Chains A and B, each alone.
Chain A
């Protein structure tokens, strides 16, 4: 740029300034309105959307699918797509270092690449086109960032669509635009159309990708934040994973009804012997490694179990606050709301929490339980070797009601069809009562259904 052009630019600027405004109050007024708007928006976001809770970091849980901050998602997607390209895709650093490095380099050097003094958009259509396609690409890549590149049935179509959108079309458009600009000397109008059509094509391929995308299976992990929630979470996990051997209150001294450990003598884990000698971190290790020699399987994910670090922490917290007399338990809400006289319990409100705590540890897939699964309403009603007789609406002799009272069931010939069910200590009477009322009244699922058949609350007697 020669001095003449510089002088022209400066003179033009002086003219614009003389026709312009004052920094104070004109410009700054708009700045302040904008900042205030942003501040209000932030308060709204913080109040109404907040920050989703996440479980604590667990270095052993390598199954966790990493997700970066959203503004890096497009880069992640780009890396995944690049990996699809044959041959070149194997050279990782081209995509991780070279391409982003060159992109940032070009971005930084724009003033020295686009050296002419033109500022009007019609005179710099090439750079505007390139940037537009780049920005559209970034936005679209972010949109498809959750979509996998290989479908569940192994089909690669979805990955190919994305690669066309994210790599092929932009590349082709760039080549075309350069040719148009330097070789064919096309008009501004043709170049604008080329850009618009490329962008629309990219959007179309994104639409197709999203339409084909499998339902997102991403589930939010439940996170217990308060102490009470943590204790309850621990209790539920304990009931599912530990109760079959240690009993729902940790008092079992002789294991019953567990294959391979029948009659095994163990130290009750609610005793001081255990609680006072094992520290929190050692407890975490006992749960994670198990006691392979004595028969307790490992539970930590690192050792092939199902529990994450956070979940094992909850179990430890539960054991401490419920059994360790050095800890004072906070007030724990009841497992289910107590029933009024004649009130009919429902699955959703009463049975589900009871079953989760007292039955699911054995009555789920992969355990010895006469094929009786209890993880959902339907399963409870329909599974089991004796499904036909387990739950008979209105029948007090339903097998289930007998089984939970530790009766053996025999058939007409006196053969045992259901043995005495393992949990060695009987259920509390109020829980037994819930099961009985539920079956006697036809097993309502929702609270509304139960309310319909419950008698109206007794009118308060007149004083």
Chain B
């Protein structure tokens, strides 16, 4: 029976092609340093999953955000674990992405033919930091509130567009319910969307060119 199902699916999906194209690829000898890219991706997926759980209870309004987070920590079964993983996962993701970038830099893996992979990577680094910045405000506690006040203020000092950026980020002259709403929307929809798309392109390019080999004396 299982065989029949497998054959039926294989005819339509083509597992063998998938296997040959995705998994059975030859690669140059790689090292533990090459695991950092996939570790970044794993963290992104994990952040997505835990984040989805958090939105079940989280309320993005100044009156309720703090209490809803408090409730996740105290009232929801394993809420502390989910939030804990999301919290530390954010920290670790920034760290891992950064070290991944350093590894790519030090092994000069960004050179021909992987220049575009690097450029997309910079986009990934910036969006990852953007996730950190927007997520930091959501618990609506003192730290969040004041860090964001100062952070957006810094954006406001840019010549010409500063004024506008500040207002666009805050949704007005001061931090308010609108700011929280904006940051929430950016944190759960816009930035992850961009991040996911960029990761897609990043991976496509990596499959296309293969992973670079560790540089030797004659490289």
Give the B-binding residues of A (Cβ under 8 A). 1, 5-6, 9-10, 12-13, 16-24, 26-28, 30-31, 33-35, 38-39, 41-43, 45-47, 49-51, 54-59, 61, 64-72, 76, 79, 92-93, 96-97, 104, 107-108, 110-112, 114, 117-122, 124, 127-128, 131, 135, 221, 225-226
A-B pairs, 7 with minimum CB distance? A46-B84, A24-B23, A66-B146, A57-B145, A54-B141, A119-B215, A111-B115
The residue from A33, A42, A59 contacting B85, defined by CB atoms under 8 A apart: A42
Beta-carbon contact of A26 and B158 below 8 Å: no
Name B84's contact: one of A22, A47, A56 (CB within 8 Å): A47
Q: Pick the contact of A34: B32, B143, B162 (CB < 8 A).
A: B32
A218 to B62, CA, bound (A): 26
B102 at the interface (CB under 8 A from A): yes
Q: Which of B132-140, B182-190, B195-203 contacts A (4 or more CB under 8 A)?
A: B132-140
Verify B122–A13 contact, CB threshold 8 A: no
Nearest CB of chain A from residue B38's CB, rounded to whole Å: 4
- Total chain B interface residues with beta-carbon distance under 8 A: 86
The answer to whether the Cβ of B105 comes within 8 Å of any Cβ in the partner chain is yes
- Contacting A28 at CB < 8 Å: which of B23, B81, B108? B23
| Cross-chain contact A66 with B147 (CB below 8 angstroms) | yes
A69 touches B142 (CB 8 A): no
Quick one: closest B residue to A79, CB to CB? B154
Main secondary structure of the interface of A (DSSP, over half): helix
Beta-carbon contact of A51 and B84 below 8 Å? yes
Contacts of A6 in B (CB 8 A): 112-113
Contact of A131 among B25, B29, B105, B218 (CB under 8 A): B105
Q: Which residues of B contact A119 (CB under 8 A)?
A: 107-109, 111, 212, 215, 219
Residue of B141, B151, B158 most packed against chain A (CB within 10 A): B141
The one of A17, A49, A112 in contact with B27, judged by C-beta atoms closer than 8 angstroms, is A17
- With beta carbons under 8 angstroms apart, the residue of B29, B113, B145, B218 that contacts A58 is B145
Across the interface, A45 reaches (CB within 8 A) one of B34, B84, B175, namely B84
Contacts of B159 in A (CB 8 A): 93, 97
Task: Establish whether residues B73 and A225, one from each chain, have CB atoms under 8 Å apart when the complex forms.
Answer: yes
With A and B bound together, what is the CA distance between A19 and B213 in angstroms? Answer: 11
Number of A-B contacts (CB under 8 A): 225
Q: For B70, what are the chain A residues with a Cβ–Cβ distance below 8 Å?
A: 225
Residues on A with C-beta less than 8 A from B151 are 68, 72
Known: A38-B42, A50-B80, A59-B174. 9 other contacts (CB 8 A): A20-B27, A21-B29, A23-B23, A56-B140, A59-B145, A71-B91, A111-B115, A117-B111, A225-B74
B106 in contact (CB, < 8 A): yes
Say how far B213's CB is from chain A's closest CB, in angstroms.
Answer: 4
Q: How far is the CA of A39 from the CA of B88 in the complex (A)?
A: 10
B89-124 residues at the A interface, CB under 8 angstroms: 89, 91-92, 94-96, 98, 102, 105-115, 118-119, 122
- Asked whether A43 lies within 8 Å of B85 as measured between CB atoms, the reply is yes
Partner of B142, one of A54, A79, A114: A54
With a cutoff of 8 Å between Cβ atoms, the chain B residues found around residue A49 in the complex are: 88
Q: Which residue of B lies closest to A41 (CB)?
A: B92
